[in-house]
Structure formats: structure tokens, C-alpha cells
Amino acid sequence: MNIRFSGREVRDLLVAWAALGLAFTFFFEGPGIVRAPSAMAGALVLSLVTAGVGFLLHELAHKVTAIRFGQVAEFRADYGMLFLAVAGGLAGFLFAAPGAVYHRGRATHRENGLIALAGPLTNVALGLLFVPVLFAGPLVGAFAVELGRLGVAVNFLLAGFNMIPFGPLDGNTVKEWSLSGFLAAGVPCFGLALAALFLF
């Protein structure tokens, strides 16, 4: 499997990662964080490693799976939505739609369903990777506690949100392919997302 990234795609991924990091930093900490550069730097690192990586690996999972099925796939950032994400974070609310992986080529309903499912399942896997960090955090320090907490919460919420069977969300594509597949993946994702709410 040959995975390539164009110059534009690399730029879009980096801009989306940085913008999402800022948006989540402002959302979690409030706009006043800009008056405390050292605190903002720490909060930005947390957001980049948890929310930023969660969003981007979600999209890259779509890309890799699409290529695995013989598709041509590339990520495109939505700069208008990225601006709104940062502005929303400053205003105290957040709706992040950084862009999408666009793929073309022949694909069955099953392949499209699996391409869609790859994103939420990647977020579940990432959330699980942060669980040991969350529990080991008290032994290491406050930064590790926050890293684990946000890593688990954000990724489980992303998985649950994207599995909603509505509009362009992944859950709708999965449900159109297989109701049983949707239920098998969606129910655990929704349960993890609900559990993640208790971490905020």
C-alpha cells in the first residue's frame, strides 16, 4: 500500500492541527489565557497532543483505509470552519469541523462503511491509549493527569459524536452499509462518550 501526501495536503494537515490546538486551548482555558504565556504554552501542548492528534488521526484513518481499498484519497482543510472553531473557542463554545478526507474510485457499500468506521475506531483506540496515562498521572504529576484526562475524554467524545447516524457523519455511512455493524460499533462508542462526560 503506497501512501503519499501532496504538499497541499501536508500544509492543510499542519494548519488544521494548529488551529484545532488553539481552538481547544481557548475553549478549555478561556480567552484570558493569552495573558499568561507560560500557562498558554502548556495548555496548547495538551490540546495539540489530545484534541489535535485525535482529529487528525481520525481523518488519516479514513485516508489509509480508502487507499487500502484502491481509492485515491486526500485530506482537505476547511479554512472557514477552522476560523470559526478558533473564534468559537474564544467565545466559549466549540464546533470543530477541520475538513475531510475526499476519496474517489470504485467502492462497494461495505468498503465505504469500513472507510467511515475507521475514523471513530481510531479515536476509541487513542482514548484507550490515554487510559494508563490517566491512572498513572497522580504518580507523575499534574500535567500527566491533564494529558490523560483530556486524551481519554476528547477521543471518546469524538468517537461517539462521529457515530451519530445523521447527515455527513460517519455513523450515517456505516448505518447505510450495515445496521448490525452500526449497532456493534455505535453502542460502545456512545457508551464511551457518555462515560467521558464525567471527566470534564
Q: Which residues are catalytic?
A: 59
Chain centroid, CA 8 distance in Å: 20
Range list of β-strands (E), the chain: 72-77, 99-104
Range list of β-strands (E), 17-127: 72-77, 99-104
Check if the beta carbon of residue 144 is closer than 8 Å to that of residue 136: yes
- The amino acid sitting at 82 is L
Backbone angles phi, psi at 108, to 5 degrees: -80, 170
Is the dihedral angle over the CA atoms 42, 44, 46, 48 positive or is it negative? Answer: negative
Give the Å distances, CA to CA, from 180 to 113, 121, 167, 168. 12, 16, 19, 19
